[in-house]
Amino acid sequence: MIKDSLQKIPITVSLYHFSDRCRNVFKAANRFGFTFLRLLAYDITIKNYNKRIQTMTNMNKEVVFKMHLVETAPEAHDEYLNARRGQMITAVAIEDGTFGMYASHRPEDLTKNYTFEVFNNQAAYDEHVAADQYQQFKQEMAGVIVNDQVVDLEPQFMGHQDVALNISTPNGLWINIVQITVKPEHLADYQRVVTAQLENALKIDPGILAIYAGTKQGRPDDWVIYEVFQSEENYRNHIANPDHQKYVAASKDWIQNKQVDQTIGDVLVNTGNN
């Protein structure tokens, strides 16, 4: 399980909380069909929590981590987003092995979308794709989603607030998707430095809500890092931090290519291990 692999670091943060009561309502309502679930107003409260950061440094190899590059038909973004919102919220609410799901899009092109998914293990993923609500989502999206490229990732580092995220309305989050190709002779060096830097950033920076890093299966030199900041200001402060600058200086000669896509957060939901 993801929770068994986590190390806790004290921090104070204000976040959306996906309550146990809401989860139980979703599970009960699911008996009446997915259409009814879409109509539910899920329970969101905003509180200040003296919580902890959850980080995964000694990775549980059973964890399933996926990135989807989703292209939608022109003018279909709202239809896609409405369906995606219901599908993701429902999955995290009623599927015990689904840890988190995150959707965003490029600001300059609404047809270009990303989703990231984290499952406890392969059995949890298999259960998810076989679920009625996912099958209905696929049927509804016929003609809306024109391409869905799935990238399987080997988890290398995962850090997030130990408070459940349930964000599906317009927000000021700053979300980066960073894709890095590391020179083969420096793979071990880069892994050591980047995981140490990410763990330290979570310790000292309350503006970071989540950072997940993985390598593409069969391609250990290709890294994908998913970063969620509370705001652009938090992101700017992060990259100006001396510790981050030290990481950049140490790794610059090890990196062959780097691409950073800043995206707009649409849906971010997880269990928070609560």
| Mean predicted confidence (pLDDT) in 16-34 | 47
Burial category of 156 from C-beta neighbours within 10 Å (exposed 0-12, middle 13-18, buried 19 and up)? buried
Helix (H/G/I), strand (E/B), else coil: 234 = helix
Question: In the prediction, which pLDDT does 11 show?
Answer: 27
Kindly list the domain boundaries of the chain, sorted by start residue: 3-270
- pTM for the whole structure: 0.81
Distance CA 165, CA 102 (A): 10
272 vs 243: which has the higher pLDDT: 243
Task: Give me the DSSP letters along 36-51.
Answer: HHHH----EEEEEE--
pLDDT tens for each residue of 187-204: 999 999 999 999 999 888
Question: In the prediction, which pLDDT does 53 show?
Answer: 44
Pick the CATH number of 3-270 from 3.30.230.10, 3.30.70.100, 1.10.357.10, 3.10.270.10: 3.30.70.100
Distance CA 220, CA 152 (A): 12
Other CB atoms within a 10 A radius of the CB of residue 232 amount to: 12
Question: In the prediction, which pLDDT does 54 show?
Answer: 54
**β-pairing verdict for 174-182 and 255-270:** antiparallel
Burial category of 95 from C-beta neighbours within 10 Å (exposed 0-12, middle 13-18, buried 19 and up)? buried
**β-pairing verdict for 64-72 and 52-56:** unpaired
Please work out, in degrees rounded to the nearest 5, the angle formed at the alpha carbon of residue 234 by the alpha carbons of 115 and 80.
Answer: 25
**β-pairing verdict for 98-106 and 255-270:** antiparallel
pLDDT tens for each residue of 134-187: 999 999 999 999 999 999 999 999 988 777 889 998 889 999 999 999 999 999
Distance CA 44, CA 250 (A): 42
Question: In the prediction, which pLDDT does 60 show?
Answer: 61
**Residue 55's pLDDT band (boundaries 50, 70, 90)?**
low
Question: In the prediction, which pLDDT does 160 show?
Answer: 85
Contact 44, 23 (CB under 8 A): no
The backbone region for 95, taken as left when phi is positive above 0, alpha when psi lies in -120 to 50, beta otherwise, is: beta
pLDDT tops 80 at residue 215: yes
pLDDT tens for each residue of 222-239: 999 999 999 999 999 999
The backbone region for 19, taken as left when phi is positive above 0, alpha when psi lies in -120 to 50, beta otherwise, is: beta
Distance CA 59, CA 184 (A): 21
252: which residues sit within 8 A by CB, 6+ positions away?
Answer: none
Contact 37, 82 (CB under 8 A): no
Please work out, in degrees rounded to the nearest 5, the angle formed at the alpha carbon of residue 122 by the alpha carbons of 34 and 7.
Answer: 100
